[in-house]
Structure 1
Amino acid sequence: MTSFQTRLRRCLLAAALGLLALPNSGCHMLVGMAHNSLLLSNFWFTTPLIPVSPYLSQKIEDEYWEEERYKRIPILDPVEGENAPLFCLDPPSPDEVMRAMPNNTSGGMAFLAETSRNNVRIIVEPMVDRLDDCRFYPMVGPARVHHCHYKCTVYFEEVKRSYWPVPFENRDQRQEVVYVDHDHLIRCGGPDSNSTSMEE
């Protein structure tokens, strides 16, 4: 019966012979790829080509998408008229509601542990529509906050699948509640009508 050291020596010897025989086999694909990547990096004054996983690129795109569309606070121009109607006009979109939900579908492995949401139905209900008094904000000036809060109820069917080692599928009717805030600033057109100026 061979010992562990003997098996390790045989494996190392086989690996060394394989590495020695690879350049003599006529296959220069790996060497050619490395050579071309170094030439391109020297030409463009950058690092060699580095493969990036689609998961990382999609994650970066999602961060930029959320930063551009949902994480910025808009500053609107003043509304003309003393009794002009001010009410919330932009309810959250289905994309914003789904991104605000806990991401329970990520992290699984294909054909081993998959989680998906089917038959999604979203109900948006306005909760708060309030306008604060005019005050001074740095880098904005005199403005007031318009509070717009929404309650989003999401009904969906959660499906959990696994194909190995024991194939099974579980379907469950779920309900999640997400609260979305669309607060924004509205510039004040002028000084408050109730304010008085002191003359010297």
Structure 2
Amino acid sequence: MESEARGKEKKHLHDRIFVKRPTLCCCCINLRVGVIIITVLLLLHGIWYAAMALSGVETFVSHLPKIAAIGFGVLYILVIPVAVFGFYAITKKNPNLLQIFSRLFWSSITLLILLHLIELVFSLVWRDDIIANCEKDINYLVPSNSSTSTVPYSPNAPNQNVIDKACTQGVNLFLLWSAINFLIFNLLLSVYFGTIVEAFSREELRKQELIS
């Protein structure tokens, strides 16, 4: 009897974590509101990274040919209409539309994960080039008595060795953060969001079936 009670307790705990929670809440808030927030994040994500890619501001994109950078921007733009459709489906409260949105959402986050993975890989490949660009950008800080120096000589100014080390450490930290950001935000969190959107669409479909 005791083992049976423990088994029921474990099953109840499992259901609370993996079954009931995804259909009742999202980040401890109402599931519907959570899906709206997720859709807003998808929209902002697409707009932000599309703008970064098309403007060439992002470090990764700055190493690409212009046509390739535009291609990345266009791919990021593709998630924007998905988010707009998501708002429409949520507003209409149509389970069939929500099912379509769920599939499109999974396709969108798969595309985003792939794009961010490509960015991470090529950032690692181009590590030395990024360091060289960093050194070039702040090379004017190197003290010099020559007439070509862009700043007056100062004994307290950093020398080339200090700049090299600073750029190397900065780029290494940037790449480390990029890897962590990819694993936590671009991969795990995206999959979690996809699960929430899918759970919401299933819950709405279940409600419709109960009514009919």
TM-score band (shorter)? under 0.3
TM-score (norm 2): 0.22
Q: Which has the higher helix share?
A: 2
Q: Which has the larger radius of gyration?
A: 1
Structure ranking higher in strand proportion: 1
Question: Which one has more relative contact order, counting CA pairs under 8 Å at least 6 apart?
Answer: 2
